[in-house]
Chains A and B, each alone.
Chain A
Amino acid sequence: MLFDGYDTGDFYDEMFAPGGKPRPDARLLVEMIESLSDGEVLLRQRSAERLLLHMGITFNVYGDDSGAERIFPFDLIPRIVPHGEWTRIERGLRQRIHALNLFIDDIYHARRILRDGVIPAEVIDSAKTLRQQCVGLNPPLGVWCHVSGTDLVRDRDGEIYVLEDNLRVPSGVSYVLENRQVMKSTFPRAFEGMAIHPVDTYPSRLLEMLESLAPRPADRPRVVLLTPGIYNSAYFEHSFLAQQMGIQLVEGRDLVVSEGRVLMRTTKGFERVDVIYRRIDDDFLDPLAFRPDSLLGVPGLMEAYRAGNVALANAPGNGVADDKVIYAYVPDMIRYYLGESAILPNVPTYLCWRDADRRHVLANLDKLVVKAANEAGGYGMLVGPHSTAAQREDFAGRIQANPRNYIAQPTLGLSRVPTLVDDHAEGRHVDLRPYILYGKEIFVLPGGLTRVALKKGSLVVNSSQGGGSKDTWVMAQPPAEPNQ
């Protein structure tokens, strides 16, 4: 049996309560899986992988020119999020995004929060992601973070914490939609008797949000998705979202700015563009405004944006709130702008620019996780308990050389979900990245991307570091009482 001898270990297990009984929402699924013949789960796992390969749901491996993209590893056993818990998460995310958006708008205008002494001005002014080009800008609807993917983790204590706010160009939502599709085709029985929130409304909600930003009235504004191109690791997602929304996937070279308007090159001449869902970092967006060596962007784009002739999502400059040092102040922002306390707590964070924090961090490098303020994808990170003395020494040097650029957090015992390993299930650590859309209103896609660290004991879930993903089931109602 798949779960024979399953050990929840010293962690919170999302499927089994301590002692080995399935949690109430997982009971039906566990019973169903147990009723399958030996090998059937494995067989379905294989067919899911083949399906992913044929559908080309892959990510590019940089430096591999054989044309063989890799599938993003997918594990058949889903992660279940109980109804009540999701309700709280959703409220917490709305609150957080609302406050973050007010914060960004404030930073590029009056800077009240700095003047009122809630956040030291030097922390903001030293952020690499602060864009002088955006000062005084008024994006459509006053929204700066149109699409975010907030990383949540659960610690041993069962509490859900916010690990990171990804406000710039978060990726992964396509896997949420495709994982569900693959689950439904390869393992339809798993859905029997379960009331699970569907996820496939996402492209419609995204399109609706993007269209709401259009600078000129039109029945159907011209919305495009700007990609760096097929060699980008998230290219699959870009083409997938464009296809699902029926909008054009464009590259920088397809666009040109003329008289403050953005035009695209078509077989019949130039056509004006209203809204750009850009999946290119600020740095590469416009060589005239940001990095002059960028070949991916569109010269003059920022000028057209400032003139209000084109909308950009996400808004340039919003990465200032993605800085991991500024992250530490989000609960303060929520209190300051909304007069509320944060529903979802932050992970306790030491800021190395504070002398006392830095001393503590340097003395406890073997216990903490150290992160650079502006890296993503699991890079620029030290996981203390899994590090070597040489790595710790390296990080100690880096912290002392540039304290502003480093934060540290306690090493969390991320919760686990049973995951197929050969012919049985073992617990593997997971996180959860829900996706939030912000246009005229805030929409939170039920669930999100559950990333799983497939290596035994590993806490790093990033796909670039051996992570995979699972379907995420948000229950549409509380669990039924078991039949007696």
Chain B
Amino acid sequence: MNARPLLSRVADSVYWMSRYIERAENVARFVDVNLHLILDSPASLGEQWKPLVDTSGDAAAFDERYGAPTRDNVIEFLTFDSRNPNSILSCLRAARENARTVRDTISSEMWEQANVIYLKLNDAISSGRAATSPHELFHDIKMGCHLFQGITDSTMSHNETWRFIRLGRLLERADKTTRILDVKYFLLLPRVEHVGTSIDDIQWSAVLKSVSGFEMYRKRFGRLSPPSVVDFLLFDGDFPRSVRYCVGRAAEALHIITGTPQGDYRNEAERRLGQLRAELDYLSVAEVIAGGLHEFLDGFQTRLNVIDDAVFNTFFAARPLDQAAAG
């Protein structure tokens, strides 16, 4: 008997479990950095909370239910709102539900961690701790998600299931990095006169901090300059949250799952992902900026969605008996 086959339903669940954990972590760091950023911004700038909602892709739902993008409204919406499917609470809940359906497949330690992060967030909400010390809460969530990933990598065989977990995590992360970069676009738009000032400096470092990239950026480029930040977040080959890194590793994971040689493709998911990877490998930051950063990021997100659909159709969808599967 060959290696234990992976049920399509289980592959789907672990993929989403992984995406949701990654999403929760990114929302937490994103909101947290903004909380910090505001402390450093001149009062004249006002509190910039609207861009967080804009880049989440859920602006319509926010406007309809909350109206004004105040600090409390935005934090509530992105963190605790169970009606927002992408709030931290909803993501951790969905991650846990997915983990529960595959509890036999993942390690007990992974399940326990997915369970505990969710229970702790609920405790924090009901005890009021979430409101009194949000930094601590966001820190706990980030570390809780890191711990989940560490547990995943060190308690589970690096088999096909694990590669779907990895695929989900990397695609989600690539998407989130582009969204965080896009926040900067929204932030800067009304205030072109700030370009090159210390306010600008603070904001670019905030962008880097939202992806835990500030320190690694410094090591590589030293001084903060917008093109270098964009270069770093999009194209760095070694930084684990750069878009190119994520897409490249995601493509690798996919090829190992199917056994297709690198550089080749046998299904739509591989073709689309390979295409994107090749572009990222050979695009320059100057070209991206010349064509418009926002336009680039927007197009990138659309293409990631297409890849996600292709992954679903290739591996997860119930197919008729007479149709061969991928790989």
A interface vs B, CB < 8 Å? 53-56, 67, 218-220, 222, 225, 229-230, 235-236, 238-240, 242-243, 247-251, 253-254, 256, 258, 263-271
Contacts and interface: CB of A to CB of B under 8 A. Distances in A.
Q: In the A-B complex, list the 7 residue pairs whose CB atoms are closest, starting with the nearest.
A: A242-B104, A239-B103, A266-B5, A269-B325, A249-B104, A243-B104, A56-B115
B8 A265 contact: yes
Of B101, B102, B103, the most chain A CB neighbours within 10 A belong to: B103
B246 to A, nearest CB: 22
Given A243-B104, A253-B318, A265 B9 contact: yes
B257 A267 contact: yes
Contacts of A54: 112, 115-116, 119
Contact of A266 (B101, B118, B321, B325): B325
B119 A250 contact: no
Nearest to A69: B100
B125 interface: no
B101 A230 contact: yes
A258 B320 CA distance: 11
B326 A267 contact: yes
A55 B200 CA distance: 47
A336 B1 CA distance: 45
Contacts of B160: 267
Nearest to A221: B1
A267 B164 CA distance: 11
A239 B321 CA distance: 27
Contact of B8 (A225, A229, A267): A267
A53 B123 CA distance: 13
Contacts of B100: 56, 230, 235, 239
B315 interface: yes
A444 to B, nearest CB: 26
Contacts of B93: 67
Given A56-B100, A267-B327, A270-B325, 16 more contacts: A54-B119, A243-B103, A247-B104, A249-B102, A250-B7, A258-B321, A266-B5, A266-B7, A266-B325, A267-B5, A267-B6, A267-B160, A267-B325, A269-B324, A270-B321, A271-B5
Give the interface size bracket for B toward A: 35 or more
Contacts of A248: 4, 7, 10, 104-105
Contact of A67 (B6, B97, B111, B326): B97
B1 A219 contact: yes
B275 interface: no
Contacts of B112: 54-56
A387 B120 CA distance: 43
Contact of B119 (A53, A219, A229, A265): A53
Contacts of A236: 103
Give the interface SS of chain A, mostly helix, strand, loop or mixed: mixed
Nearest to A220: B1
Give the interface SS of chain B, mostly helix, strand, loop or mixed: helix
A175 to B, nearest CB: 16
Contacts of A250: 7
Contacts of B165: none
B9 A268 contact: no
Contacts of B102: 249
B11 interface: yes
B108 interface: yes
B98 to A, nearest CB: 10
Nearest to A218: B1
Contacts of A230: 97, 100-101
A269 to B, nearest CB: 4
Nearest to A259: B321
Interface in B104-154: 104-105, 108, 111-112, 115-116, 118-119
17 contacts: A56-B100, A56-B115, A67-B118, A220-B1, A229-B101, A230-B100, A236-B103, A239-B103, A242-B104, A249-B102, A249-B103, A249-B104, A256-B321, A267-B8, A269-B324, A269-B325, A270-B321
A52 to B, nearest CB: 11
B109 to A, nearest CB: 10
Contacts of A247: 104
B318 to A, nearest CB: 6
Contacts of B97: 67, 230
Interface in B261-312: none
A230 to B, nearest CB: 5
A12 B118 CA distance: 44
Contacts of A235: 100
A323 B321 CA distance: 40
A219 B97 CA distance: 34
A265 B1 contact: no
Contacts of B116: 54
Nearest to B9: A254
B85 to A, nearest CB: 14
A198 to B, nearest CB: 19
A382 B5 CA distance: 49
Nearest to B106: A243
Nearest to B319: A265
A222 B160 CA distance: 18
A264 B115 CA distance: 28
Given A54-B115, A258-B321, A265-B318, A251 B108 contact: no
Nearest to A235: B100
Contacts of A251: 9
Contacts of B326: 267-268
Nearest to A250: B7
A236 B104 CA distance: 10
B298 to A, nearest CB: 31
Contacts of B257: 267
Contacts of A263: 321
A271 B111 CA distance: 27
A377 B315 CA distance: 40
A268 B5 contact: yes
B108 A264 contact: no
Nearest to B321: A258
Nearest to B6: A267
B9 A56 contact: no
A249 B105 contact: yes
A390 to B, nearest CB: 40
A278 to B, nearest CB: 15
A298 to B, nearest CB: 13
A229 B4 CA distance: 21
A266 B6 contact: yes
Nearest to A251: B9
A254 B7 CA distance: 7
Contacts of B8: 254, 265-267
